[in-house]
Amino acid sequence: MELRNLGEPVRSAEGSTPVGVRTVGIVYRKELLETLRDRRTLIVMVLLPLCLYPIVGIGITRLIGAQEVRREQRPSRVALQGPVWTDLERGLGRGHKIEVQRRQATEDALRRARIDLLLVVPDDHGRTLERNGTVKLKLLYDATSDRSRLALQRTREVVRDLTRRLVRARLQHNALPPTLTRPIDAVSHQIATGRAVDAQLMARVLPMLVILMVLLGAFYPAIDVTAGEKERGTLETLLATPVNRISLMAGKYLVVATAAVITGLLNLLSIGLTLKLGLAPALKAAHVASSIPWDAVALTVVAMIPAALFFAAAMIAVASLGRSFKEAQNLLTPVLLVCQLPALAAQIPGVELNLVTALVPVVNIALLTRDLIAGRVLWIPAGVTLLSLLAYTAVALKLAARVFESERLLFAPDPGTGRGRGLWRRLLRRDRGAAAGPGASHAAASPSQAAALLLAVMALILLVGQPLQAHQLMTGLLITEWVLILVPVLLLLRLANLSPRGALALSRPSPTAVVGGVLAGLSAWYLVGLLVELIQQRVMPMPPEMAREYHRALFASDRNLLLDLFALAISPAICEELLFRGVLLQATRSVMSVRSAVLLNGFLFGVFHISPYRFLSTMLLGMVLALIVLRAGSIVPGMLFHMLNNASAIVAGKLLGEEEAASSEAALSWPLLSAATVLFVVGMTLAIRAGPSAPRDPAG
Amino acid sequence: MSIVAHDLRKHFTHRPAVDGVSFEVRDGEIYGLLGPNGAGKTTTLRMLAGLMRPDSGRALVAGHDMHREQRQAKAALGFTTGTTGLYERLSPTEVLAYFGRLYGLDEQLLSRRIEELTRVLGLGSLLHRRCGSLSTGERQRVSLARALIHDPAVLILDEPTAGLDVLASRFVAGVVREARDRGKAVLLSTHYMAEAELLCDRVGLLHQGRLLWEGSPDELKQQQQARSLEEAFLQLISVGA
């Protein structure tokens, strides 16, 4: 071994140590190299965006486009019943894609989808017309069938034309001017450019996406360059070098920001290409958008860069607190959620970017992105947004640098458990006993897995579910529940190898809890509805036209009740419960107290329903459900509660009819109120006191 | 004096970790800080390396106060932790270049140093592999090269032979001796008494945050009339307790 020579003496490094910009550059280059070699980062930064959007795009195309095109091209089969009415039949024959037939003119054929519409002509239509009377045409259709509804639409057009001709003939016959029946001719002109209309859709979806993708892009690098370096033991050697800690932090920060920007750009690129190459024809066919506003996609980049700078700083500040990779991951997950939620601001009508909202972080990014895309930017609030973001970035960096100065955080021993129990509490130096009891489930999802799942489901709903529901409510709802919510839950279970019992609380409930869930579920809709009505009407009343629209959509009287119950009560009771009271609640209960878990669950459930007008009611329901499931130790009473709550509301809506259901005064009755209160209190007491069922034989 | 610890004290939440420790390491000397786990060895080294601030007392490296002239003090210091922590996704060359640049070496000098250290520490076949794929012994060699990259006057090595097999330990011991012979002051910590006996010129026995005894291994054995350093240490502790 040649040990005689350790090399020529090096000039003392004293005085030539790098400061400031040069150190930042050295750290930046090294951290970037390391980040680009991290598989996790590469997956989130490159692979995910490049695969996600094309896959989602193909899905949408298949679902909407193909179906739509096929449906449009297929002629509607209209069967006529009753005497011959030549004018009508000729009209139908000339009508758009209608096949008239006299065979199978029965309701039964309609029910079996042999025909799409049954048109019943009254026997005396000829005489009625001669007497200037009104002919009563009956159009029978099946509201659950897309083809049948399309047939109705097409037939109505023909009838409208015929009516117009008959009116003209009557007026002529009586020597009256044709304008007699048209005292007003209202012509509407819309002034928004085509771009503005299409940009609406982009303005809804892109701000959420921009924030989500930038956050995800910063996530792993932020952990890697801080807590990761602590865990590997390299931070100590790094801090033993004569470099300024601020420069060190700056170099690391810039790498995280770079990763966030690259992730954002690749996502936008992938969205753009998917839209251009695959999705545009489908969206056009579905009347969702007629053209893609490319400048909107490009403008998003402008908002993305300050967003990336801010998020990178916030995430690096929090990640520095973690002593190990896993701990930092558990710390950052709530940050991911908290940063994601204010992005919904861009969805609330009436919330504008002004001097106040420009000061609220994340909200200002969401609003600025929205306005940039919609092509209406107010320059002063935009400027304030950028300045305030810079200020917040500086504060976050200052905090991060301070963490690097803190011995307590640098050299605290790693707890090793990695579950991060009470982590935030410990960091905030509030010592209280561990909240979760002993024997907390070992097979629940980790908080970060649960958060990732929720974010993925939210993204799917915004990207796929909402357009689908706007296009076709019932099908859209069913796909949302069973595909967009349930499938990711099952995938997580499968991939993370979690047990249904531990991760979803899918276990046999005690009979008392079941009875309690049923009683409380039957009465809750009335109480929650009333309470919300009382509070919300004062705080944030739903615009009346929106309320009418909402009730019409949900309580449409011409739909099959069983279908309604399946889509609006049974499906959410299964799918939403498995996500919220299953994965999310079980994941959070091991890291926080029952109270916090219930509050967080309700809050997330409220946010999940996207509409600010439904936030309060859904949040309350979420909290009640979380409490029941936690106390009963089983998700089943929660599912029953959820199902009966929704079912009662639907049945009541049908019974009361559209108008009454929309106004609460009609529904307020004291006997009903007291009965519901008693039922609810008894039910909740039973559900909460019941406790989990006796543990089964371990062998079973 | 190249390393001076003067009445260093450090208190953690519930107990004093280092309780008034003073010693000096001369140029061309290997000084071993010995003691069981939890004796305060690592905390002492961290204070001397400027990673922790002592509650009271002074730490000097190459004549510079670690607190007041931190940059000069750190520039003269090569430091390894007990974990042989390296960047898993970088190659040894990249790690060495990174630290060399942080110590202010220019590119020409840097490549010369890497070449020399590669030769001396036998890194040739490792240079372009990822650090994550290296064995513990190989990592320790890279780790030493990293601490030596700027040819510091002072070396502080925390448990440099922990977890190494006999051959790798010998190799490290050889490098440490070589550094001493070139006039560097070397401070290392270990709980392997036998190794310290062979390697160190002087040892300090640390127990419960205090320096119990200091001197050459032979002096200690003579004084305690013990056959080995370990025996002498155990006797000292029992007297102290």
pLDDT at A3 exceeding the cut of 50? no
Neighbours of A319 (CB within 10 A): 31
Confidence of residue A610 (pLDDT cuts 50, 70, 90): confident
Q: Is the pLDDT of residue A588 over 90?
A: no
In this structure, are residues B52 and B223 in contact, taking their beta carbons and an 8 Å threshold?
no
Residue with more model confidence, A298 or A161? A161
Chain A contact set for B122 (CB, 8 A) = 1
* Contact across the interface for A14 and B52, Cβ inside 8 Å: no
CA distance A107 to A104: 9
pLDDT tens profile A268-297:
888 878 777 766 665 555 555 545 566 767
Of B86, B151, B171, the CB nearest to A9: B151
Contacts of A235 (CB under 8 A, 6+ apart): A229, A410, B85
Q: Residues of B with CB below 8 A from A233's CB?
A: 81-85
Highest mean pLDDT among A59-68, A650-659, B221-230: B221-230
**Mean pLDDT, rounded, of chain A:** 79
The separation between the first and the last C-alpha atoms of chain A, rounded to the nearest angstrom, is: 65
Mean pLDDT for A196-225 is 79
pLDDT over 90, % of chain A: 17
Residue A279's CB is within 10 A of a number of other CB atoms, namely 24
Residues contacting A402, CB < 8 A, separation 6+: none
Looking at mean pLDDT, say which of A437-441, A549-553, A567-571, A612-616 comes out highest.
A567-571
Distances from the Cα of A12 to the Cα of B61, B108, B186, angstroms: 14, 15, 17
Q: Are B237 and B206 in contact (CB under 8 A)?
A: no
In tens, the pLDDT along A88-104 reads 888 888 867 888 888 88
Least confident of A526-540, A587-601, B16-30, B105-119: A526-540
Return d(Cα A18, Cα B24) in angstroms, integer: 30
pLDDT of residue B8: 93
Give pLDDT, residue A432. Answer: 31
Give the integer Cα–Cα distance in Å for A403 and A370.
35
Q: 229-258 in A: which are within 8 Å (CB) of B? A: 232-243
What residues contact residue B45 under an 8 Å CB cut-off, 6+ apart? B33, B156, B158, B187, B189
Report the percent of chain A where pLDDT is more than 70: 79
Cβ-based neighbours of B28, under 8 Å, separated by 6 or more: B180, B181, B183, B184, B185
Chain A residue whose CA is closest to B144: A237
Query: Are B113 and A33 a contacting pair at CB < 8 A?
Result: no
- Report residue A224 as tokens: 């890697």
The one-letter code for the residue type at A166 is L
Asked if B174 lies within 8 A of A1 by C-beta distance, the reply is yes
Of the candidates A10, A238, A241, the beta carbon closest to that of B151 is on A10
Q: Which residues in chain B touch residue A237, judged by CB atoms under 8 angstroms apart?
A: 79-81, 85, 99, 146-147
Q: Look at residue A252 in the predicted model and tell me its pLDDT.
A: 93
- The pLDDT value given to residue A662: 45
CB contact under 8 A, B75 and A411: no
Sign of CA dihedral A173, A178, A183, A184: positive
Give the residue with greater pLDDT, B230 vs A32: A32
CA atoms within 13 A on the CB side of A513: 25
**Residues facing B204 on adjacent strands:** B33, B214
Task: Provide the 10 A C-beta neighbour count for residue A29.
Answer: 16
- A304, A384 contact by CB (below 8 A): no
Q: What confidence score (pLDDT) does residue B118 get?
A: 92
Whole-number Cα distances in Å, A225 to A67, A236, A327, B160, B215: 48, 13, 14, 25, 43
Cβ contact B51–A12 (<8 Å): no
Q: Which residues of A touch B104 (CB under 8 A)?
A: 13, 16-18, 242
Does residue A537 sit at the B interface (CB-CB below 8 Å)? no
- DSSP H helices in chain B: 41-48, 70-75, 92-102, 107-121, 136-148, 166-181, 193-199, 217-224, 229-240
How many angstroms separate the CA atoms of B44 and B6, rounded? 11
Q: What is residue A289's three-state secondary structure?
A: coil
Whether pLDDT at A529 is above 70: yes
Minimal Cα–Cα distance from B116 to chain A, Å? 6
In the numeric block, the tokens 């944030």 are attached to: A540
CB atoms A17 and B146 under 8 Å = no
- Range name among A27-31, A308-312, A464-468, A591-595 with the lowest pLDDT average: A464-468
pLDDT surpassing 80 at residue A338: no
Strand pairing category for B16-25 and B29-34: unpaired
Which of B77, B86, B182 lies nearest to residue A6, judging by beta carbons? B182
pLDDT class for A463, splitting at 50, 70, 90?
A: confident
Residues in A touching B79 (Cβ below 8 Å): 236-237, 240
The answer to whether the CB atoms of B72 and A14 lie below 8 A apart is yes
What residues are paired with B203 via a beta bridge?
Answer: B32, B215
Of the partner residues B70, B82, B175, the one whose CB lies closest to the CB of residue A3: B175
Q: What is the mean pLDDT of residues A49-74?
A: 70
Statement: A75-175 belongs to CATH 3.40.1710.10: yes
Domains and CATH numbers, chain B: 3-76+153-240 (3.40.50.300), 86-151 (no CATH)
The pLDDT of residue A335 is 81
**Across B88-96, average pLDDT:** 94
- Are the beta carbons of A232 and B85 separated by less than 8 Å? yes
Residue A9 at interface with chain B, using a CB cutoff of 8 Å: yes
Residue B23's pLDDT band, with cuts at 50, 70 and 90, is very high
At residue A552, the pLDDT reads 66
Closest-CA residue of B relative to A235 is B85
pLDDT reading at A456 higher than 80: yes
Q: What is the dihedral of CA A626, A632, A638, A639, to 10 degrees?
A: 140
The answer to whether A218 and A260 are in contact (CB under 8 A) is yes
Judged by average pLDDT, the poorest of A143-147, A279-283, A581-585, B122-126 is A279-283
pLDDT in tens, A481-513: 998 999 999 988 888 778 888 888 888 888 888
Pick from B3, B47, B87 the residue to mutate for testing the A interface (most A CBs within 10 Å).
B87
Assess A10–B contact: CB distance below 8 Å, yes or no. Answer: yes
Out of B51, B74, B146, closest to residue A236 by CB: B51
Cα distances from A80 to residues A72, A86, A118, A173, in angstroms, run: 22, 12, 6, 29
Residue among B75, B79, B120 minimizing CB distance to A5: B120
* Chain A residues with beta carbon closer than 8 angstroms to that of B46: 236, 411
**Closest to A646 measured CA to CA, from A547, A567, A582, A584:** A567
Cβ A237–B81 below 8 Å, yes or no? yes
More confident residue, B40 or A675: B40
Residue B188 phi/psi, 5° resolution? -135, 160
Enumerate the residues of chain A whose CB falls inside 8 A of the CB of residue B89. Answer: 34, 37-38
Give B136-181 pLDDT, tens digit per residue.
Answer: 889 999 999 999 999 999 999 999 988 888 888 889 999 999 999 9
Query: CB A233 to CB B109 under 8 A?
Result: no
Residue A407 touches partner B, C-beta closer than 8 Å: yes
Query: How far is C-alpha A73 from the chain's CA centre?
Result: 33
Whether the pLDDT of residue A433 is over 70: the answer is no
**What's the mean pLDDT when you consider all of chain B?**
89
What mean pLDDT comes out for the span A355-377?
83
Start and end residues for every CATH 3.40.1710.10 domain found in chain A: 75-175
DSSP code of A612?
G
Answer yes or no: are the C-beta atoms of A525 and A646 closer than 8 Å.
Answer: yes
Nearest CA in chain B to A224: B87
Highest mean pLDDT out of A83-92, A525-534, B98-107: B98-107
Q: At what angle do helices A636-662 and A615-632 cross, to 10 degrees?
A: 160
The two tokens of residue A624 are 């009640």
**Which chain B residues are Cβ-neighbours of A27 within 8 angstroms?**
102
Residue B146: list chain A partners with CB under 8 A: 237
Instruction: Please report which confidence band the pLDDT of residue A438 belongs to, taking 50, 70 and 90 as the band edges.
Output: very low
**What mean pLDDT is predicted for residues A224-250?**
88
Supply the DSSP string of A548-585, one letter for each residue: HHHHHHHS-TTS-HHHHHIIIIIHHHHHHHIIIIIIIH
Full 3-state SS string of A460-479:
HHHHHHHHHHHHCHHHHHHH
Rounded Cα distance, A499 and A505, in Å: 9
Contacts of B160 in chain A (CB under 8 A): none
Q: Measured between CB atoms, which of B52, B76, B80 is closest to A14?
A: B76
How far apart, in whole angstroms, are the C-alpha atoms of residue B46 and residue B40?
10
Q: Indicate yes or no: CB of A237 within 8 angstroms of CB of B79.
A: yes
Model confidence at A643, in pLDDT bands (50, 70, 90)?
very high
CB nearest A242 (choices: B74, B83, B122) = B74
Dist. CA B241–CA B239, nearest whole Å: 5
Chain A to chain B, count of Cβ pairs less than 8 Å apart?
A: 130
Percent of chain B surpassing pLDDT 70:
98
Cα dist from A350 to A347, A382, A612, B220, whole Å: 9, 17, 11, 83
**Cβ within 8 Å, pair A6-B150:** no
Indicate the residue of A1, A4, A26 with minimum beta-carbon distance to B98.
Answer: A26
When pLDDT is cut at 50, 70 and 90, the band that residue A198 belongs to is: low
Q: Does B109 contact A410 at a Cβ distance shorter than 8 Å?
A: no
The pTM (predicted TM-score) of the whole model is 0.63
Q: What is the pLDDT of residue A67?
A: 60
B150 chain-A contacts, CB cut-off 8 A:
10, 13
